[in-house]
């Protein structure tokens, strides 16, 4: 999707080139936007809540951007995430239902975590060559494959996020 020309933008300024809505969660940890992808039942919402709690316990800013459906758009070489307007400020907690939560209206994604589903094999100990990055809307992001149900998954993911953004 191409947007209308930017008002008062210098010649050659990048337009929003692509916008998609995907099944994923997005959150901010410090200044790092993190995208959690995975099939239904992979633990995206529970892991989002755990990461927020863990980060806040370490004195870091942590907020949900969006649960379940997230709009992604490339702008000026960066990938932005926004919540789907119909469910902004809400998260589904298994066994409790849909709950209100503080959220941010947008964030710049710095990395991606792909979660395996309940029937998938656990990600390999050493990732295959070429799997350390992923391309979304023409933006390359560092990528981690993880299993949200493994003990210590949130700490492993928080460590991964910390590699790419200084808190």
In tens, the pLDDT along 119-140 reads: 666 655 555 555 688 999 999 9
In tens, the pLDDT along 43-82 reads: 999 999 999 999 999 999 999 999 999 999 999 999 999 9
The pTM is what?
Answer: 0.82
Two tokens at 62? Answer: 């942590």
pLDDT of residue 8: 47
């Amino acid at each position: 999707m191409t947007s209308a020309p930017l008002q008062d933008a210098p010649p050659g300024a990048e337009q929003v080139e692509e916008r998609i809505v995907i099944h994923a969660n997005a959150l901010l940890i410090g200044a790092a936007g993190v995208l959690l992808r995975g099939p239904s039942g992979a633990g995206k919402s529970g892991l989002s809540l755990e990461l927020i709690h863990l980060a806040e316990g370490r004195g870091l800013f942590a907020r949900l951007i969006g649960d379940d459906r997230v709009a992604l758009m490339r702008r000026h070489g960066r990938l932005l995430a926004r919540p789907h307007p119909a469910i902004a400020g809400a998260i589904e907690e298994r066994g409790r239902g849909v709950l209100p939560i503080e959220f941010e209206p947008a964030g710049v994604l710095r990395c991606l975590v792909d979660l395996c589903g309940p029937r998938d094999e656990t990600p390999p100990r050493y990732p295959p060559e070429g799997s350390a990055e992923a391309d979304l809307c023409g933006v390359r992001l560092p990528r981690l494959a993880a299993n949200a149900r493994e003990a210590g998954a949130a700490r492993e993911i928080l460590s991964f996020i910390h590699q790419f953004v200084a808190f």
